[in-house]
């Protein structure tokens, strides 16, 4: 028997009461039964996004919401500035180029956040850019971006702020209306503690205005059509009915915890994880630490192959699934995720399995040094 434990930055573990919802019968969506339930979800989402705007629910993963945003706001030949700090920043670039936009990319050293001075210089050099597309938290490197600063600069320079908050919404404070974020996106399999398959996004008044002049082609991912339907608690196409059903429960759980406690829990788990990494002598990879996930370098004595083995042993021998680096970071970093349905005991489990895997690979480990540091940090904070 092997118990599988998921400690990855999406999909994340799902609470038992949410799982139970997926065993219930599927209802038809063109019914008042669905509309009543969808209304509850919409209300919870406004709370989560800290917005008065309607939060749209799309049946696709986060990338689909990113694509709807690009197709929905812009016209052929428009210029946008992209903050590319990793795989997901690169996705904004590829997506925008696919739609024929001119992309002015700020390519960051992996593991770093964008500097606001550099961004402002880029805005000055490219005053015609319509928007800045960025991640709140770059999941591939664990770098946290200065969201409020980016949004403020966008306001000053008359550009839209388009924030991929897929590993940020429900983890750290991103008050959409208060900060004036123009587009905020998230996905079901991250902090929302659901399986993959839904994405959620909200647009400011300014962003909705921009949709009126957009001339890029769109059909399935048409935000204006969706808004018309979702204002009436309906969807343009058949929605992920079961996921919505589960979402009402997962959001109820988050709302019961409350935003301040939710953000504090993630901060605390991040501190526990960092303490463990330090105790194990692991060096941090991200220079802009985030409450979402902690990225560490594999020990220097390890080859890339051995680096990849850590994750493999943790999964195959101990049933604990974490993620390593992608592309050029493969075998070089470990991504220790601590968000969603996650508490201090999940962090202990992950660190415990990491200690075992490192020892299996011949790395000197004093058992309990990492897990002990987790408990100590937990008590101290
Ligand atoms: C997971 C993730 C996405 C979306 O990826 P999908 O595979 O489409 O769900 C986008 N941006 C960030 C920052 C992510 O972490």
Is residue 381 pLDDT above 90, yes or no? no
Question: Which pLDDT does position 353 carry in this prediction?
Answer: 98
Using most ligand atoms within 8 A of CB, pick from 60, 62, 64, 94 the residue to mutate for ligand 1: 62
User: How many CA atoms lie less than 13 Å away from 358 in the CB half-sphere?
Assistant: 24
Atom of ligand 1 nearest to the CA of 64: 8
Q: Report pLDDT digits (tens) over 341-376.
A: 999 999 999 999 999 999 999 999 999 999 999 999
| Percent of the chain whose predicted confidence (pLDDT) is above 90 | 99
> d(Cα 205, Cα 207) in Å, to the nearest integer?
5
90 alpha carbon, distance to own chain's centre:
15
**Residue 6 near residue 323 (C-beta atoms within 8 A):** no
Q: Which residues are CB-contacts of 275 (< 8 A; sequence separation ≥ 6)?
A: 373, 374, 376, 377
Q: Report pLDDT digits (tens) over 258-297.
A: 999 999 999 999 999 999 999 999 999 999 999 999 999 9
36 alpha carbon, distance to own chain's centre:
28
CA distances in angstroms from 142 to 168, 254, 340, listed in the order given:
11, 23, 16
Average pLDDT over residues 232-239: 98
Question: Which pLDDT does position 150 carry in this prediction?
Answer: 98
**Residue 93 near residue 236 (C-beta atoms within 8 A):** no
Q: Report pLDDT digits (tens) over 175-220.
A: 999 999 999 999 999 999 999 999 999 999 999 999 999 999 999 9
Q: Report pLDDT digits (tens) over 293-334.
A: 999 999 999 999 999 999 999 999 999 999 999 999 999 999
Q: Report residue 50's pLDDT band, with 50, 70 and 90 as the boundaries.
A: very high
* Pocket lining: 135 vs ligand 1, CB cutoff 6 Å: yes
Evaluate if pTM is beyond 0.85: yes
**Residue 83 near residue 134 (C-beta atoms within 8 A):** yes
Q: C-alpha angle 96/97/102, rounded to 5°?
A: 85
289: CA distance to ligand 1 center in Å? 19
* Pocket lining: 239 vs ligand 1, CB cutoff 6 Å: no
Residues facing 18 on adjacent strands = none
Query: At what angle are helices 62-73 and 87-98 packed, to 10 degrees?
Result: 40
Helix or strand or coil: residue 11? coil
CA distances in angstroms from 58 to 93, 163, 246, 334, 366, listed in the order given:
22, 17, 15, 31, 48
**Residue of 167, 137, 162, 140 whose CA lies nearest to 151:** 162
Average pLDDT, the chain: 98
* Pocket lining: 164 vs ligand 1, CB cutoff 6 Å: yes
Is residue 1 pLDDT above 90, yes or no? no
* Pocket lining: 88 vs ligand 1, CB cutoff 6 Å: yes
What residue ranges define each of the domains in the chain, with the CATH number in brackets?
A: 16-257 (3.40.640.10), 259-380 (3.90.1150.10)
């Amino acid at each position: 028997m092997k118990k599988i434990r998921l400690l990855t930055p999406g999909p994340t573990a799902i609470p038992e009461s949410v799982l139970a919802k997926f065993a219930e019968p599927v209802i038809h969506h063109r019914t008042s039964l669905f509309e009543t339930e969808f209304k509850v979800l919409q209300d919870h989402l406004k709370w989560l996004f800290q917005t008065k705007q309607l939060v749209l629910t799309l049946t696709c993963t986060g990338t689909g919401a990113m694509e709807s945003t690009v197709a929905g706001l812009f016209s052929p030949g428009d210029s946008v500035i992209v903050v590319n700090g990793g795989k997901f920043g690169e996705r904004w670039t590829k997506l925008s180029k696919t739609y024929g936009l001119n992309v002015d990319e700020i390519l960051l050293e992996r593991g770093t956040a964008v500097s606001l001075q550099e961004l402002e210089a880029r805005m000055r050099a490219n005053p015609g850019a319509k928007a800045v597309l960025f991640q709140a938290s770059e999941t591939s490197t664990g770098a946290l971006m200065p969201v409020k600063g980016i949004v403020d600069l966008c306001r000053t320079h008359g550009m839209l702020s388009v924030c991929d908050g897929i590993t940020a919404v429900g983890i750290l404070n991103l008050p959409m209306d208060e900060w004036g974020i123009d587009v905020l996106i998230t996905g079901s399999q991250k902090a929302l503690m659901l399986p993959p398959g839904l994405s959620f996004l909200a647009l400011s008044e300014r962003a909705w205005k921009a949709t009126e002049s957009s001339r890029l082609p769109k059909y399935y991912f048409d935000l204006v059509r969706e808004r018309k339907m979702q204002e009436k608690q309906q969807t343009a196409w058949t929605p992920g009915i079961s996921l919505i059903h589960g979402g009402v429960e997962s959001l109820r759980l988050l709302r019961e915890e409350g935003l301040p406690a939710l953000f504090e829990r993630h901060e605390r788990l991040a501190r526990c994880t960092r303490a463990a990494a330090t105790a194990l002598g692991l060096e941090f990879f991200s220079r802009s630490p985030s409450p979402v996930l902690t990225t560490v370098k594999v020990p220097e004595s390890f080859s890339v192959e051995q680096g990849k083995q850590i994750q493999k042993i943790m999964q195959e021998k101990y049933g604990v699934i974490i993620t390593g680096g992608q592309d050029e970071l493969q075998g070089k970093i470990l991504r220790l995720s601590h968000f969603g349905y996650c508490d201090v005991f999940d962090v202990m489990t992950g660190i415990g399995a990491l200690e075992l895997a490192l020892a299996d690979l011949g790395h000197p480990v004093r058992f309990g040094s990492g897990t002990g540091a987790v408990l100590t940090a937990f008590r101290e904070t």
